[in-house]
Amino acid sequence: MPRYKPQERHSLLLPVVLSEQIVPGTFAFALDYLVDHELDLSELDARFRNDEVGASAYDPRVMLKVVLLAYSQGVISSRAIERVCQRDVQFIAIGGDSQPSHAHIAKFVSTLGEQIKPLFAQVLITCDAQGLIGREMFAIDGVKLPSNASKERSGTHEELRHRAQRLDEAADRIVELHQSHDNSTSEQPLEAKRQARIDALRKEAARTREFVATSEPRTNAKGQELKANVTDPESAKMATNKGVVQGYAAQAAVDSAHQVIVAADVIGAGSEQSMLLPMIEQSAPYRDDTTLVTADAGYHSDANMQALMQQNIPALIADHQMRQRDERFKDQGKHKAKGDALYDKQPTGNGKPIQRFRPQDFEFHDDNTATCPAGMALRSNGSKYTTATGQRYQLYNAQAADCQECALRHQCLKDPKRARGRQVTRFEPKARDPNHPSERMKGAIDSAKGRRLYSQRIGTVEPVFGNIRHNKWLTRLNLRGREKVNTQWHLYCMVHNIEKLANRGWRQ
């Protein structure tokens, strides 16, 4: 029988030189050098007043290194960061075996506040000095991330009042059910588990009522009330391709040369129109007069286009009809994935609703006539009418006899049993001012050069979100409040930019 050397898997005392664990060319090495030699952390030092008395504190340089290194490896929980600081030799080396507790780590991240933006800017200065910012094009986009808030606790003030009432009613039903099972009118003591459930329901109801009584309703620009969240009032419900989430829309402006993030922010709303100008303003130190700003249709509005023109900022901002005007996307419908049958929830019993013919299904002619999908003629008296908004339209009517015998009657008329004939309204297109900022933007983005430049946007910004979300595992924000969430998002953007420095072989 062959003999092999023994294997030892129990604890061993090995000589480890911590400084040798930070290998040149790695993210940890670039991070360690950057924090120690490039960043000015005097503002973080100023938070401590223990020069002569008081307990010693954890060095903010160590805390910053540990948090950024953990985020780079997809470790976001403060307790998980505490564990790696005790067991992972790279974390032990970069932190000088400080081993901060999870409470200190969580407090450090949540209290950075206004000091995070200067730190982010200092990293950008280093990236710029290394030639990582090209200034040719900045792509602005956002990613919707769920936060540490419950969707169930969202609603308008009226909906939240109704929810509090339902919670109290649920608690009452538990008490009534207990009494009915005991078959006695006298009050019997409840089980501990059942009593805890009742207390939790009544506590949640009281908390909801207190929130409604002490907070003002959130409204949008049109004065419509928005849904507020009891857990995190600054977050919002947002629709994504994975469903509705309660969280924030994280924003980033990315340079096209090396995909360095030049500006970052968060907003607690699904609409991103209001973030275009602030993101451009934040990226101003790294933008020159020829830098092209690109963004998708979520940032398009007449007010934004007017502001861009007044400030003379080169930009390509898509509108919602851009793809309809582009002949390259005329067949895009056939490439769309079909809905999942398990989630295609249609009303049962009556089947799917019939798709009625719409005005675009009719063919209109210059002689005040139109042709329906069945080939029948509709006629107009030639009169033009005007809506309250000033848009002109013309009415076309079909003969009742033609519609009575039509095989497509049920697909054309809203009430096939009672309606006599189809009437179609043809609206005249609104007159467009070619000098209007939005029209000028449409002309620029529809040009051959505009399409070629705008096509670079998705390849610039989407890989950044892919790196942060999938490689760094930022699938959920674990803080509450816009300021704290903004801090965490800036830290992840710093990780992305430092990674660019490390990949460039900086300070090997």
Q: Read off the pLDDT of each residue in 26-43 and give the average, rounded to a whole number.
A: 94
pLDDT tier for residue 348 given thresholds of 50, 70 and 90: low
The pLDDT tens digits for 139-176 are 999 999 999 998 889 999 999 999 999 999 999 998 88
Note the pLDDT of residue 183: 58
Q: Rounded distance, CA 456 to CA 337, Å? A: 24
Note the pLDDT of residue 350: 54
Residue 339 pLDDT exceeds 70:
no
- The listed range with the strongest mean pLDDT (3-17, 168-182, 362-376) is 362-376
pLDDT tier for residue 354 given thresholds of 50, 70 and 90: low
Note the pLDDT of residue 343: 47
Q: Read off the pLDDT of each residue in 464-476 and give the average, rounded to a whole number.
A: 95
Q: Which secondary structure element, helix H or strand E, spans residue 204, and what is its range?
A: helix 192-214
- Name the token pair of 215: 């907070």
Note the pLDDT of residue 188: 58
pLDDT tier for residue 49 given thresholds of 50, 70 and 90: confident
Q: Rounded distance, CA 181 to CA 504, Å? A: 72
**Weakest-pLDDT range from 78-92, 220-234, 463-477:** 220-234
Q: Name the pTM for this structure.
A: 0.83
Residue 318 pLDDT exceeds 80:
yes
Residue 419 pLDDT exceeds 80:
no
Query: Taking a C-beta distance cutoff of 8 angstroms, is the pair 71, 492 a contact?
Result: yes
Note the pLDDT of residue 250: 96
Note the pLDDT of residue 39: 94
Note the pLDDT of residue 187: 56
pLDDT tier for residue 421 given thresholds of 50, 70 and 90: confident
Q: Read off the pLDDT of each residue in 181-208 and give the average, rounded to a whole number.
A: 79
Residue 395 pLDDT exceeds 50:
yes
| 292-295 and 315-317 strand pairing | parallel
Mean confidence (pLDDT) of the chain: 89
pLDDT tier for residue 123 given thresholds of 50, 70 and 90: very high
Q: Rounded distance, CA 108 to CA 484, Å? A: 11
Helix axes 60-72, 78-87, angle to 10 degrees: 100
**Weakest-pLDDT range from 66-75, 206-215, 354-363:** 354-363
Note the pLDDT of residue 342: 45
Query: Taking a C-beta distance cutoff of 8 angstroms, is the pair 151, 237 a contact?
Result: yes
Note the pLDDT of residue 184: 53
Q: What percent of the chain has pLDDT above 90?
A: 64
Q: Read off the pLDDT of each residue in 442-461 and give the average, rounded to a whole number.
A: 94
Note the pLDDT of residue 352: 58
Note the pLDDT of residue 388: 80
How far is residue 316 from each of residues 275, 302, 439, 457, 499, measured CA to CA in Å?
Answer: 15, 13, 12, 10, 29
